[in-house]
Amino acid sequence: AAKTTKARFRRYVVELDDRADEEARLGAEMRAALDAGQFTLVYQPIVSLPDGEIRYVESLVRWGRSSPAVFIPVAERNGLIVELGEWILRTACAQFVAWQAAYGEFAPERISVNVSARQLAEPGFVEVVADTLAGTGMAPGHLIVEVTETAVFGGGVAVRAVEELHELGVNIALDDFGTGHSSLGLLQTVPVDVLKVDKSFVDNLAMAGRHAVIATALIQVTDGLGLTAVAEGVETAEQARSLYELGYRLAQGYHFGRPVPEPAFNGIGVAAG
């Protein structure tokens, strides 16, 4: 028995080692990619219901074929997210300003940028945002900073950063709302403008079970507090229709448009169905 335990432990150490190697390799590749300008942004429409017209866009980072769900956490652990995040913010704001100039009334009203926990806790982050807005000539009210519940759970530096951004006039969105530890409690302690209701509540809406009950409760909370709700991950016309009937007026998902380098800003939407 001692022998197998030892062998198992050795295999475990090798696995840990492999994982550390992989993490270091990915980190080095990302560093090089950032210097070589190989990250790009795509933008997904956030549309009004029921007409499907583009109101906001969310920026999402891309790096070749790797998923941000994999490389963003690596960048958070090795600290590269700070520099990458500044690039993302600057690029998204510059793009937004260019769209406003090019598309006028058909341009989106706001752009949403994802900010990770590490970025939010970084000293000077609020200043970076303020400088970026000033540098691009963008009014704070056009920017939405998307933070996750876990990033602001526990208060501290992250919550102070959110408060300062809010005071600047930047909109704050709670991402993946309803999946964290203290979703409703956070609404009492963090200044929030937009709730992004997680895809898990949108899935199976038509089955009229628990999902529909929660989706209904969330829109009541949002309306009651004077916040804006965005339903995430809407993939079918049926979901869009159910959401509209429940009172949702903003939605995002493959049904309305995938993330692309340049959404079609032509005032013609994808109807809820």
Q: Minimum CB separation from Ca ion for residue 172, in Å?
A: 12
Binding mask 134-173 for Ca ion (x = CB under 5 A): ------------x---------------------------
Q: Minimum CB separation from ligand C2E for residue 75, in Å?
A: 8
**Contacted entry of Ca ion, ligand C2E, none for residue 235, CB cut-off 5 to 8 Å set by kind:** ligand C2E
Which of 259, 269 has the CB closer to Ca ion? 259
**Contacted entry of Ca ion, ligand C2E, none for residue 173, CB cut-off 5 to 8 Å set by kind:** none
Q: CA 267, CA 273: separation in Å to the nearest integer? A: 17
Q: Is 114 in the site for ligand C2E (CB under 6 A)?
A: yes
Candidates 99-107, 202-210, 232-240, 243-251 — which segment interacts with Ca ion by CB under 5 A? 232-240
Instruction: Say how many CA atoms lie within 13 Å of 118 toward its Cβ.
Output: 15
Q: CA 216, CA 213: separation in Å to the nearest integer? A: 5
Binding mask 153-192 for ligand C2E (x = CB under 6 A): ----------------------xx----------------
Q: Minimum CB separation from ligand C2E for residue 41, in Å?
A: 7
**Contacted entry of ligand C2E, Ca ion, none for residue 2, CB cut-off 5 to 8 Å set by kind:** none
Binding mask 219-258 for ligand C2E (x = CB under 6 A): --------------xxx-----------------xx----
HEC secondary structure over the chain: CHHHHHHHHHHHHHHHHHHHHHHHHHHHHHHHHHHCCCCEEEEEEEEECCCCCEEEEEEEEEECCECHHHHHHHHHHHCHHHHHHHHHHHHHHHHHHHHHHHHHHHCCCEEEEECCHHHHHCCCHHHHHHHHHHHHCCCHHHEEEEEEHHHHCCCCHHHHHHHHHHHHCCEEEEEEECCCCCHHHHHHHCCCCEEEECHHHHCCHHHCCHHHHHHHHHHHHHHHCCCEEEECCCCCHHHHHHHHHHCCCEEECCCCCCCECCCCCCCCCCCCC
Binding mask 48-77 for ligand C2E (x = CB under 6 A): -----------xxx-----xxx--x-----
Q: Is 175 in the site for Ca ion (CB under 5 A)?
A: yes
Residues lying near Ca ion in the complex (CB under 5 A) are found at: 114, 146, 175-176, 232
Residues lying near ligand C2E in the complex (CB under 6 A) are found at: 44, 59-61, 67-69, 72, 88, 114-116, 175-176, 233-235, 253-254, 259
